[in-house]
Amino acid sequence: MYENQTFQAIMTRMLAVVPNDVDKREGSVVYDALAPAAWELKKMYSELDANINLSFADTSSGEYLERRTAEFGVEREQATKARRKGLFYGASSVPFDVPIGSRYAANQLNYVVMERLSTGVFVLECETTGTVGNQYFGPLLPIDYVNGLSSVTLSDVLVPGEDTETDTALRQRYFAILNEQPFGGNIADYKQKIGEIPGVGGVKIFPAWAGGGTVKATIITSDYSVPSPELIDEIQTAIDPVINSGEGIGFAPIGHSVTITGVSNTTINVETTLTLSNGVTIGQVQDDIQSIIGAYLLTLRQSWAAEKELVVRVAQIEARILAVWGVTDIIGTMINGDAANITLSGDQIPVLGTVVLHG
């Protein structure tokens, strides 16, 4: 609104009200007297423009976006801690129980034992918030001495840690809530309630999937993978505990019997024949091609919640391979042994299997 208020435009308006019998040329007394005021006005207009943009959700950012969305009960989702499975062994690799609250470290991260799942198997929580807690797999070292403990392995991600919600994500969620009007157990209400649970990256709702009053909710984790049984159980308990199904004990309205399920992996194996530049070998492009196909499948998983079904397309894979340095042509691309697109069901997500390249 005010971004076009240039110094020259302001000066022109100010000089227009000065009588014409007064010298108004650049360098004159009047011009030099008005110039500093014009610069200050230009700065003021710039600040006004910035303030106006910060007052509307579609152009706001940071603290001001949070204050705007909070007026409608939409709060920025804060970073959460990853919960992982830890495997503990004593002498002769025998499963070994450790104290709740004991701490272990690796990769400059600390993990604390929160809960016992079975002998030698515990839930560990990363002490650092964010996705960084999801990334390391392997040996842990005890911070405090535990008598009889021989080794510790950090294993599965049970509940992925999440970074603080970005402005873009907060803005999208804000507009979705305003436009979809979540209320009383409608689809938008289930999406909002389940989507706000830590570790959930997306959800699809299937109403009346097994008759009247039944609801199925299929989830994907915040790192776009298959959810652990522990995460599914946690969400089931929060939404509609199995032992009290339909009684309104959780978030679900009275009379709604809700079943929480997770997405399932579909392995995508790719085979193709390449024409390479002179002097380039298959080994030189293998890693790059695997990476770009993996990145393509990740974009599909990220869009899973918004799509009825995902389609892995031959043309998309070929286009990405052709962009790899050293590849000049490509023919005969097959996905899972067939030269056609793969259409997944609504509950399936694609993960990369093997990539076989012929020269």
pLDDT in tens, 225-273: 999 999 999 999 999 998 767 788 888 899 899 999 999 999 999 999 9
- Domain end, chosen from 196, 230, 262, is at 262
304 and 349 in contact (C-beta within 8 Å)? yes
In a domain, 64, yes or no: no
293 in the same domain as 345: yes
354 in the same domain as 276: yes
143 in the same domain as 129: yes
317 in the same domain as 297: yes
Least confident of 62-66, 169-173, 182-186: 182-186
Quick one: angle between helices 7-16 and 29-54, nearest 10? 130
In a domain, 219, yes or no: yes
Would you say residue 37 has pLDDT above 60? yes
User: What does the pLDDT look like over 84-115, one tens digit per residue?
Assistant: 999 999 999 999 999 999 999 999 999 999 99
Count, in order, helices (H) and strands (E) of the chain.
8, 15
CB atoms within 10 A of CB 54: 16
pTM over 0.85: no
CA atoms within 13 A on the CB side of 334: 10
Rounded CA gap, 205 and 182, in Å? 13
- Domain end, chosen from 262, 279, 296, is at 262
Who contacts 138 (Cβ-Cβ below 8 Å, separation ≥6)? Answer: 106, 153, 154
Q: Where in the sequence is the domain holding 138, given as residue range(s)?
A: 81-159
If one counts the domains in the chain, the total is 4
274 in the same domain as 255: no
Tokens 């919960």 correspond to 83
15 and 30 in contact (C-beta within 8 Å)? yes
In a domain, 164, yes or no: no
271 in the same domain as 257: no
Rounded CA gap, 229 and 215, in Å? 19
In a domain, 2, yes or no: no
In a domain, 172, yes or no: no
In a domain, 105, yes or no: yes
In a domain, 111, yes or no: yes
